Structure 1
């Protein structure tokens, strides 16, 4: 009886709490979108061309850095472009077409100064697999370049649409370990696939699963040809120059930049030396059939002779329908990952939506130049950054180098050995393989994401790149759903801590009662007063995880708190089927144990980690209140601390929380799915008459005071919601203030 009087007093007379927070209405929410349509359209159109924001400030200081970086990247992109065209099973000139369009178009739309667009190893490998599948399913109907340019157009158009619609946030659902995993697996796949070309071994499909290629390459070692004399020395020379320049740059810091540019020129130097050697050896050894003793590049058409309109017809698009999703995913994933990385390293922020627009335009326009799919290159972007690039305009300098190569160097390309290009590819993709230190970091930070990385690598090696991508994405999505559906929650106790080691002043904090290795084991953690439960939920409170919240709280209450109704005097026939209580013989002993437990008075929920709630979650909270009150057989107070969002406050008020309503007037259901009013004779909503709550579910607030009239003692949170508190300490004190004196 005393308890009922105390509770009635708290419900009728709201104590002046320590806190107050404004609420919001739908009108407040929609107000943020009110803007002049003309201004919105103008800002949107200007945002599509970031070059307009900085080109007017271009100066000679920037120009010198851009020229050096552009020339440096140009000397690398020419041999790499032709090499990656080989991976894509296309003639070498298509790699140069892709390189030219990528570096030219990107500078107009870029928000990253470092990224270099063009052919890359993973996309080239994927293109070769797409070409192989389409040509196998439709033999003789389309040629490889025709298929590749169509893939570039369709996937580029999709990425462009994603960027224009500002849907770039979808990329955030794929974590870094998943991207690293399929890139590592793809790099291994590419390197293994180039070994036969490096050694001159033929007679099997180098686009098969990686383990098949490894087995067949080992079997084919006795068939090694003279090509190995150009391939192996090239690979060894590339690594010697790279490692030697890195070592000398560290030993002689004064000449570090000189050694850097020597290392940059290693691809061009090795190709030049091996091309001269190839010309000296093969120029007089052409057979009657027109073949040479080693495989060489032979004729590379001068200029843009293969430029033509992309083939866009329903039959080809239908044949590519199953391959387009993976091509699109790789384009946007690899580019966004690279651009974000260099933005972090060099102190600027990229716009993911704008970067997707840049990739989309590059591939859509590139398909009209005979280009195959292109995206951001890690190795060339790193080279561009180290060369001192200042703006995206460096891409125009690189495009000039590609044009010079297309129109002036194609006769020399005739004698380039294929084995040397294979060595260039193997050396280039080595940087894409995650280092042991990086993999170990994945394990230390998140073992589950290490499993995702491993699954992506193994799937790519033992199956295909496409399967590796899908496995990495699906496992990442599964992990995200598991984490969302099974978040962590902790029952809290109080501890006293000092601000400084020498300070005598202490303050009260709340930490988990179960010491999980984070809290110092020597710290004494005191549980809340008997009858009070303090709980923190470490996730947004939404429909996938709301049942976990409900089950944890209800289970804890039934385990640690006194059951309000004495079941020893209730016959078995009158007991509920799902909770019959103790057996008749053990009822007395169970009641003795039950009487030793504290009577549940209040539950305090720390909302500091919760940023969103939905209808299902509030219904779960209502269910929790109903179940614990049924167990305690009386009204239980629910206190909420640190509500960060006015929308959460609004939702809780709609559920009958915070305003001090009694359980008889609180809603028992707010997420009704089926109409069954006839079962209880009335709507549960009809019984809900919240105190001081408007008909639209928003709590009333006093009129806003004049901004010039400030009161330093004004409450932070509205006094109309006495069970909402500014912080956890205040919430627990308020919950404990209603306890009987003996507690």
Structure 2
């Protein structure tokens, strides 16, 4: 007996251990793929990590310029996400780091102040982490696709045009788009020829390399070795084109500096070494006064709502897109957790807010990455750049970085979406255009305006459900959605106008097959309608009611409530065949309550409920 008891305890302990291990794997996805890690995966992850590393370094420097920060902050923001996502991420392709959109958003709130940027990162990470813990990712569902496309298209133009000043070598140009547009053309006569030539040449070279990469056809097994080697060389330079162009431009600038000719506007002195590990400052000493935490948060304002949401939205959209393309699934809530932890810890390394990067994720996927471990290689390359290469960044021309940014954001401007929206649903052009044009003024206003307009359009559909009216001797009205309080008055007015306010009042059959929800306001309106139909000596019959809706109506004890299984039965009833009428009263039903049953019993009883014919027996299941 004791032996059996010991065996039972052993089995139970193994079950508990297995349970906790399975729960831990959900929170640490690295435990899923690490036990199966192979040498082949290591080779592919090394290649992908190095390729993305050569892409992220020049982009990080450029995006820091967009955010209005010293260029080293772009690198500070680029490595922590690589390591954290390896442990917490559920997508093999996604890379976290600074992006054009997040950099532009940050520039709107931090005012070129690194202290504000780091505090914003900490608060964004905290907000995103809370959202992940409370499973609030559904809030992102309220940002519609037209709003997203309007924002990204406007951001592409804003970011791209914002780099024109660096291509032209102009200085002291404001950040605001309309002022930027005005001052750029006002000061265009001050264009530096060297910057202009270098910028245009860099753009042309980036475009040519991208076209070369896109035009590469897959190789066959019979292809000659020399051809394969040449293809690999072309593919490597085309994939790492950002790094190639920036390095080439820096070498040209360095040669010019050695000759004593200052032709280009250079990045200038940058801080060398790894960022110090320290918590963000919750106050700021401006020299004349100390700015408390409350004032710093007040200055960030709407950025505490816009930036966390847009960061989550951008990262989740990228993860879902590549998961679908490469045939695997992601855990959306785990992705929220990964980006929240990344921003929270990133603030201790002087990072500004990061999210998933579409361009670098695409490079990661196309290079054949097998696991998130490829991010470790990318992170190491960034750290090595910070430790040893920062003095060389002095010679990087700003025109070359501007070319990298312009070519990176150009694909974000999706002009084809206008044609698609016009064909599919013209009304969706309204939130797209409102968001698009408002974002040129202030990005946060554009996003909020688009969301509000989309919300009003959604609420209008709820308040004005589609009603299909047909005449079969009596009126048959088909409802195509749920009945909730915004639609109560509209439904009541329609029935009054169509059936009661005519020369001869008419009976009505409400086809409720598609109605899946109802609330008390509608029930109260139905009670008034039933009374008015009785006073006019005509009938109001409900057909096709679902069990959950019928239970709500029965609980309200509506006097004179009638319903049938189908419209045909209701028509027969009104034509005089009383045998098919089903008049249901609260006291006529038998209630069977089931407590503590297993899921399979509940499932069986629910199926039984749906099969019960319209009669006196009603089955109510309580879990």
Fold shared per TM-score above 0.5: yes
Out of 616, 619, 631, the position equivalent to 2:521 is: 616
Residue ranges of structure 1 left out of the alignment (5+ in a row): 1-35, 136-143, 287-291, 493-526, 564-598, 663-687, 725-743
Provide closer, same or farther for how the CA distance between residues 128 and 47 of structure 1 changes in structure 2, counting only shifts above 3 A: same
- Tell me by how many angstroms 1:472 deviates: 1.9
Bigger share in helix: 2
| SS across alignment from 1:535 | strand
Q: What pairs with 1:260-271 in structure 2 (closer than 5 Å)? A: 260-271=235-246
Determine the C-alpha separation between the residues in 1 that align with 2:616 and 2:144: 41
Indicate the residue corresponding to 1:4 in structure 2.
Answer: none
Q: Is residue 652 from structure 1 mapped to residue 553 from structure 2 by the alignment?
A: yes
Determine the C-alpha separation between the residues in 1 that align with 2:588 and 2:442: 63
Q: Is residue 180 from structure 1 mapped to residue 149 from structure 2 by the alignment?
A: yes
Q: Is residue 547 from structure 1 mapped to residue 489 from structure 2 by the alignment?
A: yes
Indicate the residue corresponding to 2:511 in structure 1.
Answer: 605
TM-score with structure 1 setting the length: 0.69
Q: Is residue 309 from structure 1 mapped to residue 258 from structure 2 by the alignment?
A: no
Q: What pairs with 1:74-473 in structure 2 (closer than 5 Å)? A: 74-132=53-111, 144-205=113-174, 207-208=175-176, 210-225=177-192, 226-249=194-217, 260-285=235-260, 292-313=262-283, 314=293, 315-434=295-414, 436-461=415-440, 463-473=441-451
2:530–2:560 contact (8 Å) kept in structure 1: no
- Tell me by how many angstroms 1:124 deviates: 0.8
Indicate the residue corresponding to 1:69 in structure 2.
Answer: 48
| SS across alignment from 1:317 | helix
Q: 1:145-190, CA deviations, whole angstroms, 9 ceiling, x for partnerless residues?
A: 1111100001110011011111111111111121111111111111
Provide closer, same or farther for how the CA distance between residues 451 and 41 of structure 1 changes in structure 2, counting only shifts above 3 A: farther
Q: Is residue 691 from structure 1 mapped to residue 594 from structure 2 by the alignment?
A: no
Determine the C-alpha separation between the residues in 2 that align with 1:448 and 1:40: 50
- Tell me by how many angstroms 1:441 deviates: 1.2
Q: 1:666-699, CA deviations, whole angstroms, 9 ceiling, x for partnerless residues?
A: xxxxxxxxxxxxxxxxxxxxxx9623247xxx68
Determine the C-alpha separation between the residues in 2 that align with 1:323 and 1:246: 37
| SS across alignment from 2:395 | coil
Out of 493, 496, 504, the position equivalent to 1:562 is: 504
Provide closer, same or farther for how the CA distance between residues 147 and 58 of structure 1 changes in structure 2, counting only shifts above 3 A: same
- Tell me by how many angstroms 1:248 deviates: 4.7
Q: Is residue 480 from structure 1 mapped to residue 458 from structure 2 by the alignment?
A: yes
Provide closer, same or farther for how the CA distance between residues 393 and 629 of structure 1 changes in structure 2, counting only shifts above 3 A: farther
Determine the C-alpha separation between the residues in 2 that align with 1:237 and 1:406: 27
TM-score with structure 2 setting the length: 0.82
Determine the C-alpha separation between the residues in 1 that align with 2:239 and 2:373: 20
Determine the C-alpha separation between the residues in 1 that align with 2:80 and 2:133: 20
Q: What pairs with 1:652-731 in structure 2 (closer than 5 Å)? A: 652-656=553-557, 690-693=586-589, 716-720=611-615
- Tell me by how many angstroms 1:220 deviates: 1.9
Q: CA RMSD in A?
A: 3.5
Determine the C-alpha separation between the residues in 2 that align with 1:61 and 1:115: 20
Determine the C-alpha separation between the residues in 1 that align with 2:585 and 2:468: 33
Q: 1:188-246, CA deviations, whole angstroms, 9 ceiling, x for partnerless residues?
A: 111111100111012431x11x2332232222221101322321211111112212332
Q: 1:576-616, CA deviations, whole angstroms, 9 ceiling, x for partnerless residues?
A: xxxxxxxxxxxxxxxxxxxxxxx52x514232x22222222
2:527–2:559 contact (8 Å) kept in structure 1: no
Provide closer, same or farther for how the CA distance between residues 104 and 628 of structure 1 changes in structure 2, counting only shifts above 3 A: same
Determine the C-alpha separation between the residues in 1 that align with 2:85 and 2:62: 22
1:151–1:324 contact (8 Å) kept in structure 2: yes
1:639–1:658 contact (8 Å) kept in structure 2: no
- Tell me by how many angstroms 1:363 deviates: 0.4
- Tell me by how many angstroms 1:322 deviates: 4.0
The structure number with the bigger radius of gyration is 1
1:660–1:723 contact (8 Å) kept in structure 2: no
Indicate the residue corresponding to 1:727 in structure 2.
Answer: none
